[in-house]
Homo-oligomer: A and B are copies of this chain.
Amino acid sequence: MTTSILVPVFAALGDETRWSILVALGEEDASASALAGRLPVTRQAIAKHLAVLQEVGLVESVRVGRELRYRVLGSQLSETAKRLDRIGAQWDRRLAAIKRIAEDL
């Protein structure tokens, strides 16, 4: 169970502003400056958030002319979801087993 790699991803997802950024990027790719126009925080704050998101593989960047355009990576989210589901199912199996034993008494 390789949870250690997952934790930073969750930490990245555990912030409202970062979700706003992800949702905005989910609609269309954008630069930090462009995002700053839509969100109630400065460009620099957004740049920091994008660095965090890129670090854990939730976004990637591409240079387009003089701007750095960011793109959201749904695959990383789906991958994380799969692992989560597996762990959750495992825990539920144990619970079910306990209930079964209790009923057998």
Number of copies: 2
Instruction: With CB as the reference atom, state the residue of chain B lying closest to A18.
Output: B7
Interface of A is mostly: helix
Mask for A1-30, Cβ within 8 A of B = 1, else 0? Answer: 101101110111111100100010011000
Inter-chain contacts of A26 with B (CB < 8 A): 87, 90-91, 94
A81 adjacent to chain B (CB < 8 Å): yes
Q: Considering the complex, which residues of chain A in the window 42-89 have a beta carbon less than 8 Å from any beta carbon of chain B?
A: 71-82, 84-85, 87-89
Interchain CA distance A19-B90 in the complex, whole Å: 15
Q: Which 8 A-B pairs have the closest CB atoms?
A: A11-B14, A77-B88, A74-B91, A74-B92, A81-B85, A78-B88, A81-B84, A10-B13
